[in-house]
Amino acid sequence: MNETEYWDLIHTERARLADLLSTLEPEQWALATLCADWTVEQVVAHLSVAANTGRWAWIRSIVRAGFDPAKHNARLLERSLGGSPEETLAKFHSSISLTIAPTKDFPAFLGEVIVHGQDIARPLELDLIPDAEATVEVARYFASKDFAVNSKTLVKGVRLSAVDADFESGSGPQVAGRLLDLVMAMAGRPEALADLTGSGVAELRRRMD
């Protein structure tokens, strides 16, 4: 898959998430997500940051944060939080079609949109189904490389098997389930383990703990 094709998928998933966000009630923007201590609005602001941060801006920020990812993310996050959920959503809308990224790891940035979309949708019990091809690309990348999330390290020594897509990776105790749940597990979301089966699930839970 070439760069243009990746950007098409990223833009599609951003737009898909924006459509879901436009249906939320004001109080839902303050609810917790699956992403650490961030609310829905904070996750959306983070995605706007990601869509607007190129290589040198990212380097300057991480250096100023003393190479502390938490401080780096917090500083950038404040820039994309609006005065209201409507303003935060407007900033995200304006970022949908951008083609800015700090590296050429396009599957990782596609994965960021898909995973954070689920971080928002699942606690709210809303359906957000990403493109099947995009999800396969992210799964293959997560299983092969640590970038942003330590996905490759997390699943080392287990065999991942999707029941709804052509994806299998690794060897060892099996972890089976829907591809999207495997992606969320590789992204370090323990909530996804409840929907996975196999003798390797207990090992993944132990590693996440």
Per-residue pLDDT tens digits for 10-29: 999 999 999 999 999 999 99
Helix axes 40-52, 3-21, angle to 10 degrees: 150
Question: 132 near 175, Cβ under 8 Å?
Answer: no
- Average predicted confidence (pLDDT) for the chain: 93
pTM, two decimal places: 0.92
- Helix, strand and coil in the chain, % to nearest 5: 60, 5, 35
Q: Which residues pair with 160 in a beta bridge?
A: 169, 175
CA 59 to chain centre: 21
Mean pLDDT to the nearest integer, 148-169: 96
Q: Collapsing DSSP states into helix, strand and coil, what is residue 147? A: strand
Per-residue pLDDT, 146: 95
pLDDT band at 56 (very low <50, low <70, confident <90, very high): low
Residues, the chain: 209
C-alpha closest to that of 154 among 193, 186, 176, 119? 186
